[in-house]
Amino acid sequence: QSALTQPASVSGSPGQSITISCTGTSSDVGSYNLVSWYQQHPGKAPKLMIYEVSKRPSGVSNRFSGSKSGNTASLTISGLQAEDEADYYCCSYAGSSTSVFGGGTKLTVL
């Protein structure tokens, strides 16, 4: 069970859109529509932002959206705001009742 692959960092200016990728294998991301995304501010616990690839929990801004193609899932944040600056982690079901996380991506709002 290897960690999902995310870019170490991405950046964007306020108002712009950015996309964070999350690449797995045919044993996890590619086989299940069970990818979730978490936002983590420094010193805080992760917060669920997207589940089941593209669904948003109540209270999460519609500026956050998710998608998947093959073995790669993506999180897109549109209309970047300063408060979006955080670390983002993807997570996927990996079979046999196990979960696997990505290595995390640091988003910088310029």
Task: Return d(Cα 81, Cα 106) in angstroms, integer.
Answer: 14
- In the complex, the smallest distance separating the C-beta of residue 14 from another protein, rounded to whole angstroms, is 27
d(CA 107, CA 10) in angstroms, rounded, equals 5
Integer Cα distance of 38 and 50 in angstroms: 7
Residues at the interface with another protein (CB under 8 A): 1, 3, 32, 34, 36, 38, 44-48, 51-52, 57, 89, 91, 93, 96-104
Cβ 15 to another protein, closest distance in Å? 29
Least separation in angstroms between residue 93's CB and another protein is 5
